[in-house]
Structure 1
Amino acid sequence: MDPLIAVVGATGTGKSKLAVDLAARFNGEIINGDAMQMYRGLPIITNQIPIAERKGIPHHLLSCVDLEAEAWRISHFKRKHCVLSPRSGVEENYPSSEGSGSDVEDGVDADGAGYEEIPSTSEKWPILDSPPEVLMEKLKEVDPVMAARWHPKDARKIRRSLEIYFQTGRPASEIYAEQQAQKEKAVSECEGLLRFDHTLIFWVHAEKDVLNARLDARVDDMVQQGLLDEAESMFEFLQRKEEQGVSVDLTRGVWVSIGFKELAPYFTARRKAEMSEEELDALRSRCIEAIRTATRQYGGSQVKWIRNKLWRALAEAGMTRRLYLLDSSDVSQWDGCITEPSEQIFQSMLQGDTTPDPKSLSMLAKTVLGAKEEQAQAQPGSAMKSFTCDVCGKTVVGDEQWENHLKSYSHKRGVKSAARKAERDAYFRMKELEAQKGERETEVDSEDKLNPSP
């Protein structure tokens, strides 16, 4: 089979540049995997690579979906991808099945199990439109294993688990267990779980502080290029739909893209014309700052997905050595840190030579990948589970997040506060008991005086 290179990483790390470099070097084509970038007419707000920077390389699944189109699910993307992959070669930003922000949304299976996309089921099962707490209670009833996995407020994942149960009549956890057994069998029989034998995954990564500064500058640049004009065109589209009596689901597709939802309050206020120019300018500045914050947070969630979900999937397939972290913290060293090692690794794989240890490429790669290997050895096959802290009242999902919470300043402060409160309660309880004892002794003394012994 033809080889496939997947380029992943947080926004702003340089994925698009590496994808173009590799496609140009090895005569490949690029398949976009960012659902936001599939939308037509919004190149700035969706961060599409400018035509001038594509070097004539064909880009597939880019700027190909209209605003009115239904948001793609993973099954739809998968069918398109399977048609394109044999004649392409480089896949930029492979979509996460968690669907966070600008990723392709999966179907009813939260783990990307391959269910076909289905029409809305809320008409058949109205409970699916209920608040998260109602959904969680129902899930606890029909599938307590899955209920223990999800955060109580994560309505999307809880709803999906219920959809699986309603559609199939079987708990999602039971289906997942069967799939896991099939995966383990495939690995033990050396069948492999990657569609392409020659597959490499390049993770373009950067130090957090460096990336955050880069992302802030990117937002400022997007504003200069016309971000507000694109966001306003989306806002006006919604107004026209509202006037036509057509409702638009703002929880899916391009409507959750970073930039539009943060600027919506500004456009709403300007439409109402109740604020002064100074107040509007201040609101505009706050909205842009919200875009910066959301962009930094989104970058963090992308890294978290790679470290957790992507790594776990590769570990199950015994393919973690196919994941190479490339350090893009210093863009002035791009050729030496990104271009040259990625080309050499891919060339070695094509020629059947031994590829280097992924941890050997840089100190950042050694630190990050080494930590994941140590964690995997310490917690082999650990299943995702939600934990609720009795001290803080906070719920987190996954062993890693739970460990991080236990080490956090807020938890330790809560533990100390709880200990002080327990000491105070014990002290006042002791005082109360002493007072009660004193009252009883007084009562006994009074009775003795009234009824002296003969």
Structure 2
Amino acid sequence: MDPLIAVVGATGTGKSKLAVDLASRFNGEIINGDAMQMYRGLPIITNQIPVDERNGIPHHLLSCVDLDEEAWRIGKFKKETLRLIEEIRARGKTPVLVGGTHYYTQAVLFKDQLVGEGSEDEDGPEPSTELVSTSEKWPILDSPPEVLMEKLTEVDPVMAQRWHPKDARKIRRSLEIYFQTGRRASEIYAEQQMMKNEAVSKNEGLLRFDNTLIFWVHAEKEILNSRLNARVGDMLKQGLMSEAQAMSDYLRDKRSEGIDVDLTRGVWVSIGFKELAPYFEALQQPEKSEKELEELRLTCIESIRNATRQYGRSQIKWIRNKLWKSLSDAGMTHRLYLLDSSDVGNWKTCITEPSEKLVQTMLDGEPTPDPKSLSELAKTVLGAKEEQTREKPESTTKCFTCEICRKTMAGEEQWKIHLTSYGHKRGLKSAAKKAERDAYFRKTELESQEAPESEASKV
């Protein structure tokens, strides 16, 4: 049996600790699936597990990318991770994949290829070691959302209908796929869906590895938020400001050399640096007083706390929606086990023991229990997802624009809600009155034009 253990979850829930626990118990090696933690020399900003907490377990793809290297695309990460999984298994060990960049880990877990993944990495020449923005190749990618949407509507109208006109990131990504591959993203998505449907009809597994267990380390919302706030304080004590200062100095040196660094990719979008960037820029302005600088520093730190909580929510949203849907399509939702880490003082009972028991059960070839049976939190969260899946199967998202209210809604459900809303009904009445007034004025104007003609005919 060749098992694969995957550990997912929001930042601050204890994923890295669980990965070390399981690797220690089952003779494993860990593969990092967090895009930020791949960068070398930034252990605090990227929240890398300290060396003294790794229990001597090898950690792959951790601190392996320099600041001046091209950020890894999904295709390159998947290719390297699959190679590592084979090597780890060849040594008679168990691969443990852990990370918070869930679209990275999901590309490894499932056979269905993600759209546009690594087209340059896999089919073209090796990428340059310089940080070059894709917008240098296609300047239109730096345009405002309305310009991006106009171009996407021209080259891929089907995809344009899926995105909200103000969702610049998704519109930009669809255009980037078109420019990189020479094909419409909508066509690639359609092919992937067809391959999925064929695999399901043939009863072929969509999971890449049959013996896969996925552990979702989760915590109650308020507890996690409090934990994340405290984490930012710990990071500051450990030297967060020094790392952010070093990154800021690096950028300044590059600019002095006439080199533009793409700040929209890679470690430059990591939480902790981009929020502190205004502070380090202000330090270079002699007119700023110490009081102003300190106020700005505190504001930036609060922004880090807010961004960290928001990132945690987005990670949970990905698991609830994207990961769950992929597992549902594969008929494998029973492979996702939620572990409640709300009470870290009870780690052994709530996390270590149940996870080790589940892995051992799978290794023994015995059926694993219902994931909802592990805890009340698992019962609540997973039970709700099962009920939602039964009641409302997901459909392809499409945007609808109300010409009367000048609003755009993403999805048929939001569109239906809008159509029955008070604002829309009020808009309909207003539009009807306006049409009535316009018709009256047109009629009056027409009558006034006809009157002189009538008098002239009498003469």
TM-score, normalization by structure 2: 0.82
Aligned to 2:256: 243
Determine whether 1:370 maps to 2:383.
yes
SS state of the match for residue 214, structure 2? strand
SS state of the match for residue 272, structure 1? coil
Change (3 A) 1:138 1:386: same
Among candidates 323, 327, 332, match of residue 314 of structure 1? 327
Give the share of equivalent positions with the same residue, in percent.
Answer: 68
Query: Is the CA contact (8 Å cut-off) linking 2:73 and 2:118 kept in structure 1?
Result: no
Aligned to 1:156: 169
User: Over the residues paired in the alignment, what is the CA RMSD in angstroms?
Assistant: 3.2
Change (3 A) 1:393 1:144: same
Query: Is the CA contact (8 Å cut-off) linking 1:97 and 1:112 kept in structure 2?
Result: no
Read off the aligned partner of 2:340 and give its amino acid letter.
D
For 1:235 and 1:163, locate their aligned partners in 2 and report how far apart those are by CA, in whole Å.
28
Query: Is the CA contact (8 Å cut-off) linking 1:13 and 1:205 kept in structure 2?
Result: yes
Within-5 A mapping of 1:325-364: 325-364=338-377
Change (3 A) 1:229 1:308: same
Read off the aligned partner of 2:99 and give its amino acid letter.
N
Change (3 A) 1:236 1:113: closer
Aligned to 2:449: none
Read off the aligned partner of 1:182 and give its amino acid letter.
M
Within-5 A mapping of 1:270-281: 270-281=283-294
* Greater CA drift, 280-289 or 131-140: 131-140
For 1:338 and 1:399, locate their aligned partners in 2 and report how far apart those are by CA, in whole Å.
40
TM-score, normalization by structure 1: 0.83
Listed one character per residue, the Cα deviations across residues 283-303 of structure 1 (whole Å, up to 9, x for unaligned) are 111110010000000000011
Query: Is the CA contact (8 Å cut-off) linking 2:100 and 2:315 kept in structure 1?
Result: no
Which consecutive residues of structure 2, in runs of 5 or more, have no partner in the other structure?
89-93, 128-132, 442-459
Among candidates 193, 198, 217, match of residue 180 of structure 1? 193
Listed one character per residue, the Cα deviations across residues 20-74 of structure 1 (whole Å, up to 9, x for unaligned) are 1000010101000111101111100000001111111100000111111111100
Within-5 A mapping of 1:30-45: 30-45=30-45
Listed one character per residue, the Cα deviations across residues 265-320 of structure 1 (whole Å, up to 9, x for unaligned) are 11111111222211211111111001000000000001111111111111121111
Aligned to 1:380: 393
For 2:137 and 2:276, locate their aligned partners in 1 and report how far apart those are by CA, in whole Å.
36
Determine whether 1:228 maps to 2:241.
yes
SS state of the match for residue 274, structure 2? helix
Within-5 A mapping of 1:36-435: 36-86=36-86, 87=88, 88-93=94-99, 95-97=101-103, 111=115, 115-117=119-121, 125-386=138-399, 397=410, 402=414, 415=421
> Per-residue deviation at 1:332?
1.6
Count of matched residue pairs:
421
Listed one character per residue, the Cα deviations across residues 365-386 of structure 1 (whole Å, up to 9, x for unaligned) are 1221122122222222412334
> Per-residue deviation at 1:92?
0.6
For 1:383 and 1:427, locate their aligned partners in 2 and report how far apart those are by CA, in whole Å.
36
For 1:274 and 1:163, locate their aligned partners in 2 and report how far apart those are by CA, in whole Å.
42
Listed one character per residue, the Cα deviations across residues 365-423 of structure 1 (whole Å, up to 9, x for unaligned) are 122112212222222241233456789866564578x49x96xxxx99x9556767888
